[in-house]
């Protein structure tokens, strides 16, 4: 067709003119026919001369042959074809470079989407999943493609947010709980995609796991409520006695002395609580800094035992230190190690039955015998196993009234845990109801050539 057009279009005006000459009888029938035939032959020759080799040149350009390679067409290229050949070659090269670049960009974008740690899900206007990244597969399954989002994520709040964005909203955020396989709190950001997107993608859903964040928020709120409550109780007592001393008991000397004694006790309790709270926050602030000092455990224990002797004697409790002579030094901060054993021995003396023995033992162990352990064992009432995992939580006590009565703040073991976190050590608790408890602290031993030579020490 196109070839015929190339011939007919230059031929037509001449043919019309010949027809006119024939109609006006200026030309006879035969000469008119001959003239038309000659004109047709001439325009065919003209067309061939102009277009010969154009399509060959184009094909060779597309095949990637350079402008310098001799054309392989049987007939030589017309001047027009020869003139456009280099341009076609360049155009083809440019186009191929562009295509490669686009391919590269697409691959890079795909790699980035795949590497995004947060789940991403693209849905079309009918809420069908068009695409999702690796992280999202956990939520929607492997064969989610082209299925309704509800097949994988059946949460009503999320689906309502997605529907709202697909209908009219630009974006929506929603928080929801997934209960299988483990309970998790997720936050979803749903946003409408403005402009063209892959396979009819209309909205993108980003999911964030905020379980830890929520837990942290809850812990913080509980902690503030607990600390407030713990401070308020002695404060209320103090205010009550101050009122009494200012009013009815103003001139009662006996009552005044007794009340002042109680007030001192309550004030001391508040001071202990504030001291423990400050200590806890200081340790937490430094938790990422591992102490590197060398500390003699036996001197720490001796220091703590000296401070507790009076209270132990009041309950007729004997503290027996049975540490091996050759215990290595440990890596740590002296004052914090004192705080650890102060809390453990204080608990042992407090919670042991009267007239029993508290034993401090120790040794070395762990991988490559690189750790030193020290245990504090009492003969107390013991702790039921369900409480043991929670003992290091702030303000967690087995018996709150008893702990308060004995002057406890409920923060001692939390402080121990945080100090050990900072020391990269650990606490082990073993207990038997009716028999007693054993708290074992594991610390990193300071390197020592002499001890490595005799590991049994």
Ligand X SMILES: Nc1ncnc2c1ncn2[C@@H]1O[C@H](COP(=O)(O)OP(=O)(O)O)[C@@H](O)[C@H]1O
Q: For residue 65, give the 3-state DSSP assignment.
A: coil
Q: Report if residue 431 touches Mg ion, rule: CB under 5 A.
A: no
Smallest gap from Cβ 422 to ligand X, in A, equals 17
C-beta of 265 vs 326, nearer to ligand X = 265
Give the interface size with Mg ion as a residue count (CB under 5 A).
3
> How much is the CA Rg of the chain, to the nearest whole Å?
45
Q: Are 127 and 162 in contact (CB under 8 A)?
A: yes
Q: Report if residue 403 touches Mg ion, rule: CB under 5 A.
A: no
Q: What residues line the site for ligand X (CB under 6 A)?
A: 343, 347-348, 351, 378, 380, 383, 391, 397-399, 403, 408-414, 437
End-to-end CA distance of the chain: 103
- Backbone dihedral angles phi then psi of residue 384, each to the nearest 5 degrees: -65, 145
C-beta of 202 vs 437, nearer to ligand X = 437
Smallest gap from Cβ 346 to ligand X, in A, equals 7
Smallest gap from Cβ 116 to Mg ion, in A, equals 46
Q: What residue 119 binds from ligand X, Mg ion, none (CB within 5 to 8 A, per partner kind)?
A: none
C-beta of 326 vs 428, nearer to ligand X = 428
C-beta of 203 vs 349, nearer to ligand X = 349
Q: For 276-294, b where at least 16 C-beta lie within 10 A, e where not — what string?
A: bbebbeebeeeeeeebeee
C-beta of 234 vs 408, nearer to Mg ion = 408
Q: What residue 383 binds from Mg ion, ligand X, none (CB within 5 to 8 A, per partner kind)?
A: ligand X
Q: Report if residue 380 touches Mg ion, rule: CB under 5 A.
A: no
H/E/C letters for each residue in 224-268?
A: HHHHHHHHHHHHHHHHHHHHHHHCCCCCCHHHHHHHHHHHHHHHH
Smallest gap from Cβ 351 to ligand X, in A, equals 3
Q: What residue 410 binds from Mg ion, ligand X, none (CB within 5 to 8 A, per partner kind)?
A: ligand X
Element (H, E) at 372: strand 371-377
Smallest gap from Cβ 403 to ligand X, in A, equals 3
C-beta of 339 vs 409, nearer to ligand X = 409
Q: For 137-164, b where at least 16 C-beta lie within 10 A, e where not — what string?
A: eebbeeebeeeebeebbebeebbebbbb
C-beta of 302 vs 430, nearer to ligand X = 430
All residues at 6 or more sequence positions from 392 whose CB lies less than 8 Å from its CB, including other chains:
413, 414, 416, 417, 427
Q: What residue 397 binds from Mg ion, ligand X, none (CB within 5 to 8 A, per partner kind)?
A: ligand X
Smallest gap from Cβ 351 to Mg ion, in A, equals 9
Site residues (CB under 5 A) for Mg ion, limited to 312-351: 347
C-beta of 104 vs 400, nearer to ligand X = 400
C-beta of 347 vs 445, nearer to Mg ion = 347
Report d(CA 93, CA 398) in Å as an integer: 79
Closest CA to 378 of 416, 413, 348, 344: 348
- Per the listing, tokens 């009340």 go with 259
Closest CA to 130 of 192, 202, 191: 202
Smallest gap from Cβ 289 to ligand X, in A, equals 24
All residues at 6 or more sequence positions from 151 whose CB lies less than 8 Å from its CB, including other chains:
140, 141, 144
Smallest gap from Cβ 410 to ligand X, in A, equals 5
Smallest gap from Cβ 331 to ligand X, in A, equals 24
Report d(CA 230, CA 410) in Å as an integer: 10
Smallest gap from Cβ 382 to ligand X, in A, equals 7
C-beta of 60 vs 276, nearer to Mg ion = 276
Q: Report if residue 410 touches Mg ion, rule: CB under 5 A.
A: no
Q: What residue 378 binds from Mg ion, ligand X, none (CB within 5 to 8 A, per partner kind)?
A: ligand X
Q: Are 331 and 291 in contact (CB under 8 A)?
A: yes
Q: Are 190 and 203 in contact (CB under 8 A)?
A: yes
Q: Report if residue 379 touches Mg ion, rule: CB under 5 A.
A: no
C-beta of 339 vs 445, nearer to ligand X = 339
Q: Which residue is nearest to Mg ion (CB)?
A: 412
Smallest gap from Cβ 327 to ligand X, in A, equals 22
- Per the listing, tokens 């109801």 go with 433
Q: What residue 391 binds from Mg ion, ligand X, none (CB within 5 to 8 A, per partner kind)?
A: ligand X
Q: Which residue is nearest to ligand X (CB)?
A: 408
Report d(CA 152, CA 242) in Å as an integer: 64
Q: Report if residue 412 touches Mg ion, rule: CB under 5 A.
A: yes
Region of residue 428 (left: phi > 0; alpha: psi -120 to 50; beta: else) = beta
Binding site for Mg ion (CB under 5 A): 347, 408, 412
């Amino acid at each position: 067709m196109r070839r015929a057009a190339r011939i007919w279009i230059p031929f037509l005006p001449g043919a019309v003119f010949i027809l006119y000459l024939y109609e006006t009888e200026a030309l006879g029938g035969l000469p008119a026919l001959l003239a038309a035939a000659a004109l047709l032959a001439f325009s065919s020759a003209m067309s061939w001369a102009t277009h010969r080799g154009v399509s060959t040149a184009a094909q060779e350009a597309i095949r990637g042959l350079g402008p310098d390679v001799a054309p392989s067409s049987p007939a030589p290229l017309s001047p027009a074809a020869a003139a456009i050949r280099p341009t076609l070659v360049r155009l083809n090269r440019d186009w191929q470079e562009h295509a490669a670049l686009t391919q590269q960009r697409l691959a890079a974008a795909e790699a980035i989407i795949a590497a995004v740690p947060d789940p991403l899900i693209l849905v079309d206007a009918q809420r069908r999943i068009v695409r999702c990244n690796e992280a999202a597969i956990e939520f929607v399954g492997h064969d989610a493609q082209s299925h309704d989002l509800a097949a994988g994520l059946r949460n009503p709040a999320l689906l309502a947010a997605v529907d709202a964005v697909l209908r009219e909203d630009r974006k929506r955020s929603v928080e929801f709980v997934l209960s299988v396989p483990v309970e998790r709190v997720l936050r979803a950001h749903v946003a409408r995609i403005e402009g063209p997107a892959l396979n009819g993608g209309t909205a993108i859903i980003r999911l964030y796991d905020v379980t830890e964040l929520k837990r942290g928020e809850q812990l913080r709120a509980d902690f503030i409520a607990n600390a407030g409550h713990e401070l308020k109780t002695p404060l209320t007592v103090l205010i009550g006695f101050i009122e009494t001393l200012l009013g009815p008991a103003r001139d009662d000397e006996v009552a005044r002395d007794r009340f002042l004694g109680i007030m001192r006790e309550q004030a001391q309790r508040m001071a202990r609580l504030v001291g423990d709270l400050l200590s806890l926050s200081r340790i937490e602030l430094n938790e990422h800094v591992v102490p590197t000092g060398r500390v003699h455990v036996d001197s720490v224990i001796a220091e703590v035992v000296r401070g507790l002797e009076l209270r132990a004697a009041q309950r007729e409790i004997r503290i027996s230190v049975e540490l091996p002579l050759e215990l290595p030094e440990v890596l740590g901060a002296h004052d914090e190690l004192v705080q650890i054993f102060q809390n453990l021995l204080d608990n042992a003396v407090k919670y042991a039955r009267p007239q029993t023995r508290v034993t401090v033992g120790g040794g070395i162990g762990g991988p490559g015998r690189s750790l030193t352990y020290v245990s504090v064992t009492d003969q107390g009432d013991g702790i039921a196993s369900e409480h043991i995992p929670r003992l290091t939580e702030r303000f967690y006590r087995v018996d709150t009234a008893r702990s308060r009565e004995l002057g406890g703040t409920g923060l001692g073991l939390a402080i121990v845990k945080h100090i050990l976190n900072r020391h990269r050590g650990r606490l082990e608790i073993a207990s038997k109801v009716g028999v007693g408890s054993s708290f074992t602290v594991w610390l990193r031993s300071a390197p020592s050539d002499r001890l490595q030579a005799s590991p049994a020490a």
